[in-house]
Amino acid sequence: MNEISRTRRIWGLLTPATTIIAVFVAWQLLVTGLHVREVILPAPSEIIQALLSQPAWFAQEGLYTMATMLVGFALAVIVGILLAILIVEVKLLESTLYVLIAALNSVPKVAIAPLFVIWLGTGYGPKIAIAFLIAFFPIVIDSVLGLKSVPKDMLDLASSMRASQLAQFWRIRLPTALPSIFAGMKVGISLALVGTIVGEFVASDHGLGYIILTAQGTFETAQIFAANILLGAAGIVLFWAMSALERRCLPWHASQRQEV
């Protein structure tokens, strides 16, 4: 059984890696074979070349984007979960604030981005604000769902043991809601990255979004692709990190037991 699961795990890593390599090889062959101009679609070799010509610059701007994104995401997690707790605890907030949040969620947050520049200037502020705003909604909504889905008999059990409301929250309701909260955070972290890039598009002189925008101006297509590949890699790493954290925090959770 151990042998089988190990084989399966190796396959689980090998197949996506092989797929990605195959795509890049096909891309390289097509671009060189069909003589596609670099400005339209650069070959993978040209993208790697663009990355390697200024590695420090890409790293520095990439870290800038990451730091902004992580601050926005962290704020979204803290505010989102606290607000979800309030919404579930206070009946009045559920019929007012929660309805408002659900309604605002349908507004395209990207469209609000220019407002933040007016309010917060062109530094870290607007990017963090947009990353926060866009990641905040799924976290609040999923956390509320999780906190409300605690089975009634479980709370009855705790009451029959004369547990205080606070003790019930820590020992029953929060652990029950955690899988749902994690689901919201996994969606939120990808969205926070989107929000940061949008912020950098709107007004910035730093970050991967800024690289993409200036490269567009000078038709350096390979740079745009390089920045996007970095963003894609960052997205995968962040999602994977969240999944690893989830496995660590909720080893009991059903979705963790199935081999995916």
Partner 1 sequence: MSASVQRAAPAPPMIDTSLPPIHIAITDTSKRYGAAGVLALDRVSLTVREGEFLSILGPSGCGKSTLLRCVAGLERPTGGEISVHGETVRRPPANMGVVFQRDVLLDWRSILDNMFLQTDFRGEKRSRYMARAHELLDLFGLKGFENAYPTQLSGGMRQRAAICRALLADPDLVLMDEPFGALDALTRDQMNLELQKIWASARRTILFVTHSIGEAVFLSDRVVVMSPRPGRIAMTLTIDLPRPRRMAIREMPEFAHYCAQIRTLFGEMGLLKDE
Residues within the interface to partner 1 (CB under 8 A): 151, 153-154, 156-164, 167, 171-172, 175, 250, 252-254, 257
145/172 with CB nearer partner 1: 172
Closest CA to 210 of 221, 199, 219: 199
Minimum CB distance to partner 1, residue 259 (Å): 15
Minimum CB distance to partner 1, residue 146 (Å): 14
Minimum CB distance to partner 1, residue 252 (Å): 4
What distance in Å separates the CA atoms of residue 99 and residue 166, rounded to the nearest whole number? 26
Q: Which residue has the tokens 């926070």?
A: 192
121/151 with CB nearer partner 1: 151
Radius of gyration of the CA atoms of the chain, in A = 22
37/162 with CB nearer partner 1: 162
Contacts of 32 (CB under 8 A, 6+ apart): 43
8/253 with CB nearer partner 1: 253
Minimum CB distance to partner 1, residue 153 (Å): 5
CB distance 44 to 27 below 8 Å: yes
158/198 with CB nearer partner 1: 158
Minimum CB distance to partner 1, residue 179 (Å): 10
Length of the chain: 260
Report the Cα–Cα distance between both ends of the chain, in Å, rounded: 16
